[in-house]
A and B are shown apart, each in its own frame.
Chain A
Amino acid sequence: MRISIVVFTCIVSFISCQKKTGGADNTLPPNYNIDLRFNNIFANSNLTLGNTYTNVSSEPLVIQNFQYYISAIKLQQEDGNWYSFPESYFLVSAKIDSSKTIKLVSTNSKFKALQFTIGVDSAKNVSGVQTDALDPMNGMFWTWNSGYIMAKLEGVSTASTVAGNYFTYHIGGFRQANSVLRTVTLPFANNTNIAVGKKAVVLINADAATWFYGASNLKIADNAICHSAGALAMRIADNYKNMFTLVSVTNQ
């Protein structure tokens, strides 16, 4: 009797909670989990905020903040078609560990490449105030000249000639003439086959050192500040579009 009461109590508790969690529908195709994990580095070292690094122009710098938007995520299927994740907008912030993993769910299991945009598409820049990763509260939005800061790198450097030796690169601009939106494609070495019940972990390095070279060298001594859309922002975007490299794709 005593046991039956306890069991009944448990059942009631379970039933009343069940609706919230929702039952799995067997008629749906299985979902596959894909985690994109971003690992921030500076050249050959892991990037730690507050540590000193040296850029390609031999300027020492301490990075205090590093953030970038990842959006329009697509995975290329075996047949060459792209599987899109609509409304995918994520803000990766060096200060927030949880932001460095982007969790995706797909009904496909085999992929051969990853593609995404660094930044936020023009439509989202002009269609009102957004929520979550795109909430202007995140400090990645210019209020006087509407538009997102697509990527941000801030810190101090003895090479900087501005007050406080700061360098602040806020890279934005969504209008065609000065767009800093850049697309990154990372082919997988082998086709990735996600096993049911497991997830694929795509490990990506994001190298902040690339901001300072590539299309053109960026010297902190020459340009310690970029706070608006335009030629300098586009130059830096042309550098940082190379910051992502694929490390590995593993089934876990």
Chain B
Amino acid sequence: MNYDNVEILFAEDSKDDAILTIRALTKSGFSNKLHHVADGAEALDFIFCRGNYALRNPKEFPNLILLDLKMPKVSGMEVLEQVKSNPETKSIPVVMLTSSNEGPDIEKCFALGANSYIVKPVDSDNFFQAIKEIGLYWMILSQPPH
């Protein structure tokens, strides 16, 4: 499988949230270049070309990373921390997705260098709108230096 043209890396453990999010992005025209991983460990394998992604071109990085905060094995927060502390990947925009605005997560994510933070709304209209805006903003308006 060719991973070299992946523009959006999307890490989400909830199958339902993944389906709905991918659908929202598809409707906004970003799906063909999106790659979905089911947890944080797989997200790190993808970014740093390890495990199943060992053959991926290490010079190619996605233009945007969407991370669900609460995932098994490795959380979105830990992925964020590794991406932002690595000089090769720290300039990739990272948007955190979460089911709630509970806890100190928001401040912690921004402290670690998250570029945006979205609480997934229950109402799907709002959800689609939010996802669409993320895609538009980070894919079109702010071009990363890659």
A and B interact: no
Q: Residues of A at under 8 Å CB distance from B?
A: none
Q: Residues of B at under 8 Å CB distance from A?
A: none
